[in-house]
Amino acid sequence: MKVGVIVFPGSNCDRDMHHVLTDVFNLNAEFFWHEKNLPQDIDAVVLPGGFSYGDRLRAGVIAAHSPIISDVKKLAEKGIPILGVCNGFQILVESGLLPGVLLKNESLNFMCEWTNLIVNNNQTPFTNKLELNQKIPIPIANGEGRYFVDDESLNELKKNNQIVFSYENKVNGSVSQIAGVCNSDGNVVGMMPHPERAAEKAINQIDHKPSSLIFESLIETVGMKN
Amino acid sequence: MSFQEHEKQHIEKNVKRKLTDTELQILAAEWSEHCSYKSSKKHLRMLPTTGPNVIVEKGYDSGVLDVGDGFVVTVHIESHNHPSAVEPFGGAATGVGGVIRDILSAGTRPIALFDGLRFGNIENDAHARWLFKNAVSGIADYGNCLGIPTIGGEVEFDDCYKNYALVDVAAVGFGKKSKLIKNHANVDDLVLLIGGSTGRDGVGGSQFASDALEGEDRSAVQIPDPFIEKLIIEAILECRDANCINAMKDLGGGGLSCAISETAESLGIGIELDVKNVHLRESDLSPDEIMISESQERMLIISDPNNLSKIKEICDKFRIQCSVIGTVKEDKMMHVKNGDETIALLPADFVARGPLVDRKKSKPEYLLKLPSFPSSKNEMPFSAILLKLLSSPNIASKHWVFRQYDHEVGIRTVIKPGFDGSVLRLDNGKFLSVKIDGNPKHCYIDPRQGAIGCFEEACRNVVCTGATPIGMVDHLQFGNPEDPEIFWTFMESIEGITDFAKFLDVPCVGGKVSFYNETSEGPIKPTPLIGVLGLIETSPLLPTPPSNDDVILLVGETKDELGGSEYYEYIHNFIGGVAPKVDFSESKKNMKSVLSLISKNLIKSVHDCSKGGLAIGISELCIFGKIGCKIDLKSSLSYEKMLFSESHSRYILVANKNNLDTIKSILSDDQCSFSEIGIFSGDQIIFESGSNQILELRVDKAENNYLNSLGKIIQNG
């Protein structure tokens, strides 16, 4: 199975994600520059974190118009698992693949710290090995991570079970403490925290297993399909 | 722009004609203190620069250390003081950018940043708070965008930095030894300028930095663009992998003038360039402005003509500009043309090697007048003093600062900011520990011992993580070197650092000197900053919170050395007394013994004992473990000295009771001075001496003051 890691100008967690996919979880991961095409037989796509286009205008908004996004949209429609982390989540939101927007944190500052996530939906390709309400210790690192949707859309998200992760505590002022959502089909997932920074025992004193399950869920999903 | 008499004579002697305006501009930039090191260069040669791990190549802007298995670590340190004092966001951000390009120049990927920040008194000075807040934002904005973690540093406040700012940035790079750029050039090679366009920002920046800060010359401050820098990093590393780079240099102070002359000089070549080929931000830039603009995010590359198409292809991929501005010649001349017209033609070594000067030195008057101890006796109870010290901006947790820095990107950060040394994992299974330290309060009272102390403290911090120091960088910051008293403090510092480096066998692999750090209020205190790199072969000692019944040992001797301590200065508002002095043999013994205890897995954690003394070191451990302690002070020194003296070479060891006897016997065998001082238990920090209670403070109260003080000061103003 093959996982594509998309690289935009200014992506900076691309190599971290690639390292974790390949060296920790033994997946076949490959970088794709944003002007390249994605092969249609790819099994999963990850949009990593960073500062695509230097966060100019608004985080993720320029990258959302990259040529490769049209391929991502096609794959999304086919039901291929797609994960956006941090800036990747912002790009998915800006490209319309996921609902809502990401605003400046309530503190108005960049925030780099560890927090706990709660799993709200364990039916997605990236959460199926997690328990409902399971806690995931994980770091955030963003300036524009405050998730926002209006009340009507929030009700819609809740009704469709599209809230995938929420913060255990108030972190940045997100609506309903939302940290990650999925599309209505559940195959496109975006999250602000960084699972690739938390899934490796070698660099963490904090329990790495819950974050590992995000990657193991993907292996479970794609493995079953193949 | 003006030359001094000896410089005019040097010009007349070497160039038998009238210089063109462009030549004058080039020489003024290159011969500024900032670029030429004219006051310090002779003296910097005393520092030991070689060692088993050091790799020396022509034209490197960063130090290179071999860490085994075919890998190298690079390191460099820079400051951006004048710009940051005028425009803190842009000044601090471009400081980060500059040092990163020095790492890149060697052909290594930047993997970590450290910053040392110094400002005036933020508790009562709104301008100092403004400078501090914006410098932190500038660093965060730049480093975060690049995806290079800022994993450590220090922040200090002192009245001597009123209306000023010291922003020091150190960067570490990592790469394969085989991919290091071996700077060389052949005749007819192309000279390329890659990256950002050249504009009017930063024109004359190096001269601006070579004078006392009087006006706010904003045009001399460079404008940051981290996105372009990120693209340059990736493009340059791709060019490196494609073997397209013969030689490379970052454009920093002095802009093109400096980069061209120094590259030509170090490689023994001539360079002919046409300013018309430089890609510009503003079309009406004059040739002189093009030559001395310090616009950021630019790299100079020398490459074989056959590689040009490949380099262009890579630059196109990243949408960054690449101009062929000149060619390599045999004549060792720096030849600048504006189309067909020659506007400067000088020997490269004449430009690059500005005439050095001998500065006079004399011991400062103030040192003879420093009082020995405060005139009034201490009236405050020690518990209240400790509580107040914990909230001192110099001691309180810097969490407010480093949470704004992405310190985890790159997934190498094993020990994060907020502990002693920061630790990065390397690709060969080893770990790199890094710490930067400065202490202007000690250095003001005793410039020599203060500088040695900064060096020793940085070593102690990496030792606390289990690392052996393998190299250091120094950044020496002083006022006007033309003042003999200031020059004396510079000489004391560099001699002290040299002595200790030779004694420890830790080579100096890079550094910088920054003079003219003064405002209308006067010069700053001597502020040498030392960064130490340590290597851990197997695994680092991870910070583990102390728990109930863990024993506490103090290695090293506490001495009557309250001079320059946070206790004297923050509590008593007193400057004077005897500053701590490093006992070289005690220092080496203690480092060695602590490292051997760590390698034998006998201790749970080690904490450096420094600013605020033993009382603060112990409190920090209690706050980390959310647990109290009971310490018994047995000493002939007074309680205030035992609690707050900042004597060097001291380590607080935390260990399981069962290991106590083994630890003691190893320390005794190594002839270290140590004492078992107490245990962790309860919820109070207790210091006593026999049956006398000296101090009692609830851990949660201590924690509240320690963790929240800095944030509160910022929020309130």
Closest alpha carbon within chain B to A113: B403
Instruction: For residue A167, give how far its alpha carbon lies from the nearest alpha carbon of chain B (Å).
Output: 18
Tokens, residue B204: 């004359």
Q: What percent of chain B has pLDDT over 90?
A: 86
Distances (CA, A) of B477 to B34, B213, B318, B518: 12, 14, 38, 10
- Comparing CA positions, the residue from B395, B331, B276 lying closest to residue B644 is B395
The answer to whether A51 contacts B147, with C-beta atoms less than 8 Å apart, is yes
Label residues B454-465 b or e (16+ Cβ within 10 Å = b): bbbbbbbbbbbb
Residues of A in contact with B145 (CB under 8 A): 10, 12, 51, 54-55
In the three-class reduction of DSSP (H, G, I as helix; E, B as strand; rest coil), residue B587 is classed as helix
Using the predicted structure, report yes or no on whether residue B218 has a pLDDT greater than 60.
no
For residues A71 and A38, is the Cβ–Cβ distance under 8 A? yes
Round the CA-based radius of gyration of chain A to a whole number and report it: 16
Q: Annotated catalytic residue: which of A18, A34, A194, A208? A: A194
Q: Are residues B149 and B219 in the same domain?
A: no
For residues B650 and B558, is the Cβ–Cβ distance under 8 A? yes
Instruction: For residue B226, give how far its alpha carbon lies from the nearest alpha carbon of chain A (Å).
Output: 7
Residues B672, B586: Cα–Cα separation, whole Å: 7
Name the least confident of A101-115, B208-222, B359-373.
B208-222
pLDDT of residue B717: 64
Asked if B138 reaches chain A (Cβ–Cβ under 8 Å), the answer is: no
Q: Are residues B269 and B292 in the same domain?
A: yes
Average pLDDT, chain B: 94
Asked if B406 reaches chain A (Cβ–Cβ under 8 Å), the answer is: yes
Residues of B in contact with A90 (CB under 8 A): none
Closest alpha carbon within chain A to B541: A205
Residues B324, B321: Cα–Cα separation, whole Å: 10
Using the predicted structure, report yes or no on whether residue A45 has a pLDDT greater than 70.
yes
Q: How confident is the model at residue B283 (pLDDT cuts 50, 70, 90)?
A: confident
Q: What is the CATH number of the domain that holds B479?
A: 3.30.1330.10
The answer to whether A54 contacts B407, with C-beta atoms less than 8 Å apart, is no
The letter for the amino acid at A64 is A
For the segment A175-184, the average pLDDT, to the nearest whole number, is 98
List beta partners, residue B189.
none
Residues B289, B276: Cα–Cα separation, whole Å: 12
Instruction: For residue A187, give how far its alpha carbon lies from the nearest alpha carbon of chain B (Å).
Output: 26
Q: Are residues B607 and B660 in the same domain?
A: yes
Residues of B in contact with A9 (CB under 8 A): 227, 230-231, 318-319
Q: How confident is the model at residue B83 (pLDDT cuts 50, 70, 90)?
A: confident
Compute φ and ψ for B320, nearest 5 degrees: -110, 155
Using the predicted structure, report yes or no on whether residue B329 has a pLDDT greater than 80.
yes
CB under 8 Å to B435, separation ≥6 — which residues?
B114, B152, B420, B421, B422, B457, B458, B461, B462, B531, B532
Q: Are residues B525 and B507 in the same domain?
A: yes
Q: Are residues B404 and B452 in the same domain?
A: yes
The answer to whether B409 contacts A53, with C-beta atoms less than 8 Å apart, is no
Among B137, B145, B406, pick the best mutation site for testing chain A contact (most A Cβ within 10 A).
B406
Using the predicted structure, report yes or no on whether residue A87 has a pLDDT greater than 70.
yes
Among B409, B416, B422, B624, pick the best mutation site for testing chain A contact (most A Cβ within 10 A).
B409
User: How many CB atoms are closer than 10 A to CB B636?
Assistant: 7
The answer to whether A110 contacts B140, with C-beta atoms less than 8 Å apart, is yes
- Comparing CA positions, the residue from B251, B280, B281, B286 lying closest to residue B21 is B286
Instruction: For residue B704, give how far its alpha carbon lies from the nearest alpha carbon of chain A (Å).
Output: 19
In a domain, B637, yes or no: yes
The answer to whether A203 contacts B407, with C-beta atoms less than 8 Å apart, is no
Task: Tell how strand B166-176 and strand B109-119 pair up.
Answer: antiparallel
pLDDT of residue B377: 80
Compute φ and ψ for A88, nearest 5 degrees: -65, -40
Q: Are residues B598 and B661 in the same domain?
A: yes
For residues B289 and B201, is the Cβ–Cβ distance under 8 A? no
At which of B506, B540, B574 does a domain end? B540
Q: Are residues B113 and B187 in the same domain?
A: no
Residues A193, A196: Cα–Cα separation, whole Å: 9
Q: How confident is the model at residue B96 (pLDDT cuts 50, 70, 90)?
A: very high
Residues B49, B502: Cα–Cα separation, whole Å: 10
Number of domains in chain B: 3
For the segment B244-257, the average pLDDT, to the nearest whole number, is 93
Closest alpha carbon within chain B to A56: B227
List beta partners, residue B154.
B116
In a domain, B390, yes or no: no
In a domain, B367, yes or no: no
Residue A182 host element (H or E) = strand A178-182
Q: How confident is the model at residue A224 (pLDDT cuts 50, 70, 90)?
A: low
Name the least confident of A19-28, B80-89, B614-623, B700-709.
B80-89
Residues 122-141 of chain A with CB under 8 A from chain B are 139, 141
pLDDT of residue B308: 98
For the segment B446-466, the average pLDDT, to the nearest whole number, is 98
For residues A211 and A135, is the Cβ–Cβ distance under 8 A? no
Residues B349, B363: Cα–Cα separation, whole Å: 35
Distances (CA, A) of B682 to B547, B548, B679: 10, 8, 10
At which of B297, B324, B355 does a domain end? B355
Residues of B in contact with A54 (CB under 8 A): 145, 225-227, 230
Distances (CA, A) of B649 to A162, B494, B588, B646, B673: 57, 20, 8, 10, 10
Which 8-state DSSP code applies to residue B405? S
Among A203, A206, A211, A212, pick the best mutation site for testing chain B contact (most B Cβ within 10 A).
A203
User: How many CB atoms are closer than 10 A to CB B521?
Assistant: 13
Residues B365, B484: Cα–Cα separation, whole Å: 11
For residues B612 and B606, is the Cβ–Cβ distance under 8 A? no
Asked if A33 reaches chain B (Cβ–Cβ under 8 Å), the answer is: yes
Residues B94, B138: Cα–Cα separation, whole Å: 8
pLDDT of residue B376: 81
Tell me which residue in B147, B226, B403 faces A111 most closely, judged by beta carbons.
Answer: B403
Concerning whether B279 is annotated as a catalytic residue, the answer is no
In a domain, B342, yes or no: yes
Most confident of B208-212, B223-227, B328-332: B328-332
pLDDT of residue A225: 55
CA B99 to the chain's CA centroid: 10
Q: What angle do CA B176, B181, B184 make, to 5 degrees?
A: 155
In a domain, B385, yes or no: no
Which 8-state DSSP code applies to residue B434? E
End-to-end Cα distance, chain A: 8
The answer to whether B147 contacts A13, with C-beta atoms less than 8 Å apart, is yes
For residues B62 and B533, is the Cβ–Cβ distance under 8 A? no
Q: Annotated catalytic residue: which of A86, A144, A182, A216? A: A86
Q: Are residues B597 and B716 in the same domain?
A: yes
The answer to whether B230 contacts A51, with C-beta atoms less than 8 Å apart, is yes
β-sheet with B508-514: strand ranges across = B413-415, B422-425, B431-438, B527-536, B468-477, B508-514
For the segment B253-257, the average pLDDT, to the nearest whole number, is 89
Residues A196, A22: Cα–Cα separation, whole Å: 11
List beta partners, residue B437.
B530
The full set of domains in chain A, from first to last, is 2-225 (3.40.50.880)
For the segment B613-633, the average pLDDT, to the nearest whole number, is 97
Q: Give the DSSP per-residue string, B649-698.
A: S-EEEEE-GGGHHHHHHHHHHTT--EEEEEEE-SSEEEEEETTEEEEEEE
Residues B216, B516: Cα–Cα separation, whole Å: 15
Residues B469, B48: Cα–Cα separation, whole Å: 14
The answer to whether A54 contacts B145, with C-beta atoms less than 8 Å apart, is yes
- Comparing CA positions, the residue from B346, B414, B463 lying closest to residue B17 is B346
Asked if A106 reaches chain B (Cβ–Cβ under 8 Å), the answer is: no
Query: Using CA atoms in the order B451, B457, B459, B460, what is the torsion angle rounded to 10 degrees?
Result: 160
For residues B705 and B391, is the Cβ–Cβ distance under 8 A? yes
In a domain, B151, yes or no: yes
Among A23, A51, A61, pick the best mutation site for testing chain B contact (most B Cβ within 10 A).
A51
Residues of A in contact with B409 (CB under 8 A): 12-13, 16, 49, 141, 197
Using the predicted structure, report yes or no on whether residue B497 has a pLDDT greater than 90.
yes
Task: Tell how strand B63-68 and strand B54-55 pair up.
Answer: antiparallel
- Indicate the pTM of the whole model: 0.95
- Comparing CA positions, the residue from B511, B471, B467 lying closest to residue B493 is B511
More confident residue, B392 or B200: B392
Residues B648, B635: Cα–Cα separation, whole Å: 17
For the segment B134-151, the average pLDDT, to the nearest whole number, is 95
In a domain, B371, yes or no: no
- Comparing CA positions, the residue from B110, B108, B76 lying closest to residue B241 is B108
At which of B491, B519, B540 does a domain end? B540
Using the predicted structure, report yes or no on whether residue B375 has a pLDDT greater than 90.
no
For residues B40 and B50, is the Cβ–Cβ distance under 8 A? no
Q: Are residues B557 and B704 in the same domain?
A: yes
The answer to whether A54 contacts B404, with C-beta atoms less than 8 Å apart, is no
CB under 8 Å to B615, separation ≥6 — which residues?
B382, B386, B389, B643, B644, B687, B695
Q: Are residues B438 and B514 in the same domain?
A: yes
The answer to whether B409 contacts A13, with C-beta atoms less than 8 Å apart, is yes
Tokens, residue A74: 């096609």
Tell me which residue in A55, A109, A141 faces B409 most closely, judged by beta carbons.
Answer: A141
Helices (H), A101-175: 151-159
Concerning whether A196 is annotated as a catalytic residue, the answer is yes
Tell me which residue in A16, A109, A203 faces B404 most closely, judged by beta carbons.
Answer: A109
Label residues B68-81 b or e (16+ Cβ within 10 Å = b): eeebbbbbbbbbbb
In a domain, B320, yes or no: yes
Asked if B70 reaches chain A (Cβ–Cβ under 8 Å), the answer is: no
Tokens, residue B475: 């950044």
Range of the domain at B285: 19-43+183-355
Tell me which residue in A10, A50, A196 faces B411 most closely, judged by beta carbons.
Answer: A196
Q: Are residues B508 and B477 in the same domain?
A: yes
Q: What percent of chain B has pLDDT over 70?
A: 97
Residues B5, B266: Cα–Cα separation, whole Å: 27
ipTM value, please give it: 0.95
pLDDT of residue B217: 59
The answer to whether B404 contacts A113, with C-beta atoms less than 8 Å apart, is no
Tokens, residue A208: 């790495």
Among A110, A206, A208, pick the best mutation site for testing chain B contact (most B Cβ within 10 A).
A110
Q: Are residues B527 and B427 in the same domain?
A: yes
Task: Tell how strand B527-536 and strand B431-438 pair up.
Answer: antiparallel
Residues B612, B487: Cα–Cα separation, whole Å: 29
The letter for the amino acid at A149 is V
- Comparing CA positions, the residue from B343, B335, B291 lying closest to residue B35 is B291
For residues B477 and B668, is the Cβ–Cβ distance under 8 A? no
Q: What is the CATH number of the domain that holds B320?
A: 3.90.650.10
β-sheet with A82-85: strand ranges across = A28-33, A2-7, A44-47, A82-85, A188-191, A178-182, A163-167, A111-119, A135-142
Residue with tokens 């309860």: B682
For residues B531 and B472, is the Cβ–Cβ distance under 8 A? yes
Residues B104, B234: Cα–Cα separation, whole Å: 10
The letter for the amino acid at B312 is K
Q: Annotated catalytic residue: which of B80, B335, B442, B572? A: B80
For residues A49 and A20, is the Cβ–Cβ distance under 8 A? no
